[in-house]
Structure 1
Amino acid sequence: MFKASWRVLRTQPRIAGFPVLSGLTVLLVAAAFLTPALFAAQRPGMLGWVLLAAGCLLAITMVTTFFKAALISQADVALRGERARIGSGLVAAGRRWPGLLAWSVLTLTVSAVLRAIEDRMDFALRFLGALADIGWNLIAYLVLPVLTLEGMRLRDAPKRSAELLRRTWGENIAGYAGLSLLGMVASATGVAAVIGLGSLIGGRATLYVCLLLSLVWVLLVAVVVATLNGIYQTALYRFATGEAFSAALGDLDLRDSFSGTARGMSTL
């Protein structure tokens, strides 16, 4: 399944532009909010700082959600065998902005509640909070494809996502855990290789260059993994809803990948 997602990315590399645009926009939003927040923090009272920090978190969440929805819309286009376009993705996400904003508020609220539970000293509560966090992420995995591609209202989207989860729970878990693991392994391996090579060469200048190269590598891996995750979510959604894949992009490969995952999970 990862090979199939990679094939889509290799065929339509412009899809990777959405995580890049998301990251750049997040930096701009953070600067716009945190600059006045620093001045507000120097004044008596915390209300102004708290409001700015909350607004910053919501804006960043909305930005990442918006560009993820744009990516999903164009991954769907690519999976149909058509040409993905950055502009078309932004327009598609723009049409869904009310639902995306509501989803951003909901995810931010749920994350805050789960984090508060996990920060408690009681081990049982922390354990239950961790399980709830995993369950929530699994249920929410297909919410964005549902919101973006079906235009469903937010109150119905989690239920729809959970329904699709019951059909593809093995693939859902594999995608949720596998892509995260892939990103961590690729980042750690690349950084270790670059730093190790720098240590063999020696010199302070070499160390600085290796640190810069390591940062570039980590960012590159993050962009690729984020793009693959969006493609995988979209492919899983299309598989769960019975939508066809383009033969040019390897319909058999995708379906065999998902079927193989389901067989593997059923043996656990």
Structure 2
Amino acid sequence: MTVAFAQSWQMFKTSAAVLRTRKELAVFPVLSGVASVAVTASFVVPIVAVDLWDRSSAVTYVLFGLMYLASAFVTVFFNAALISQADLAMRGGDPSAAGGIQAAAARWPRILLWALVSATVSQLLRMVQDRVGFLGDLLVSLVGAAWQVVTFLVLPHMVLADRGVVDAVRDSAASTKRTWGENVVGNAGLGLFGFLLAIPGGLLVIAGIMVLGVNIAGALALVLVGIALIIAAAVVTSALSGIYQTALYRYSVDGMVPVAFAGADLAHAFRQR
């Protein structure tokens, strides 16, 4: 695991280098966030209206379900767009927001289906978690983590290999067998990096709340800057995750080291098992 950690750290640093040279890749998490806010806002009015009219109405639950699915679709859609352009960048091409959206739009039916599957699995795991004790909760968490690892390469298979959902899940599982160590360590490392990157923003928000009664203008400024830093951390982490995910897929499938990652020695980082 120590070796896997060192290799994954090298991968992370190289992913950051790719993002520094291809900053346009960060536009996809931004678009995803904006679209998610728009989707949520579009459902708020009808949900509130129905709830005020009849609190026991099943329509409310249907609307919440549709909002959850629409939000999942938006997230998966822009992740697919990011992966398509990250792969293009690694092959020496010129990525663009329009190119990514076009690539994802061409596959929207399977993206919608995968959003439905992943959202359903997440919701079922959450429902089970709410109804079990400590040991059961731990078991469900492990199942959720395993699901995330096994399906980590589903989107690259869908977008880059033009596979359907069922075939993409099967291919992702097969790829995971060859790269599980770096998959697990990479995911954990990216999560830790995102958390650490968001700490300054969180501290500013806390500081702003603490001085709220003393200096309202200063408190507001601290909170706004803190929120901006947290959003920036989320954007960077999401972009890095897509780059890492794409590189992992590319080598696990065809054994080719992406040009942008040549210095990371992927041939050893993703050793055959």
| Structure 1 residues 44-59: aligned runs within 5 Å | 44=54, 45-59=56-70
What stretches of structure 2 of length at least 5 have no aligned partner?
1-10
Residue in structure 1 matching 2:29, options 6, 16, 19: 19
Q: Does structure 1 residue 146 correspond to structure 2 residue 157?
A: yes
- Can you list the C-alpha shifts for 1:66-114, whole angstroms capped at 9, x where unaligned? 0000000000001111111111111110111111111011011111111
- Can you list the C-alpha shifts for 1:34-93, whole angstroms capped at 9, x where unaligned? 211100001223211111111111011001100000000000001111111111111110
Q: Is the 8 A contact 1:34 1:56 kept in 2?
A: no
The one-letter amino acid of 1:209's match is A
Whole-Å Cα distance in 2 between the matches of residues 36 and 198 of structure 1?
Answer: 33
Q: Percent identity?
A: 37
The alpha carbon displacement at 1:195 in A equals 5.7
Q: Is the 8 A contact 1:147 1:154 kept in 2?
A: yes
Partner of 1:210: 222
Q: Is the 8 A contact 1:195 1:207 kept in 2?
A: no
The alpha carbon displacement at 1:252 in A equals 2.5
Residue in structure 1 matching 2:126, options 110, 115, 118: 115
What stretches of structure 1 of length at least 5 have no aligned partner?
none
- Can you list the C-alpha shifts for 1:166-190, whole angstroms capped at 9, x where unaligned? 1001110012111111111111134
Whole-Å Cα distance in 1 between the matches of residues 261 and 123 of structure 2?
Answer: 41
Partner of 1:135: 146
Q: Is the 8 A contact 2:205 2:222 kept in 1?
A: yes
Residue in structure 2 matching 1:187, options 193, 198, 201: 198
Provide the aligned C-alpha RMSD in A.
2.3
Q: Is the 8 A contact 2:190 2:237 kept in 1?
A: yes
Q: Is the 8 A contact 2:205 2:227 kept in 1?
A: no
- Could you tell me the TM-score, scaled by structure 2's length? 0.88
Residue in structure 2 matching 1:94, options 101, 105, 108: 105
Q: Which runs of 4+ in 1 moved over 6 A?
A: 197-200
Partner of 1:222: 234
Q: Do the aligned partners of residues 38 and 197 (structure 1) sit closer, same or farther apart at CA in structure 2, a change above 3 Å counting?
A: closer
Q: Is the 8 A contact 1:80 1:244 kept in 2?
A: no
| Structure 1 residues 185-264: aligned runs within 5 Å | 185-192=196-203, 203-247=215-259, 249-253=260-264, 255=266, 258-259=269-270
Residue in structure 1 matching 2:135, options 124, 127, 134: 124
- Could you tell me the TM-score, scaled by structure 1's length? 0.90
Q: Do the aligned partners of residues 196 and 126 (structure 1) sit closer, same or farther apart at CA in structure 2, a change above 3 Å counting?
A: closer
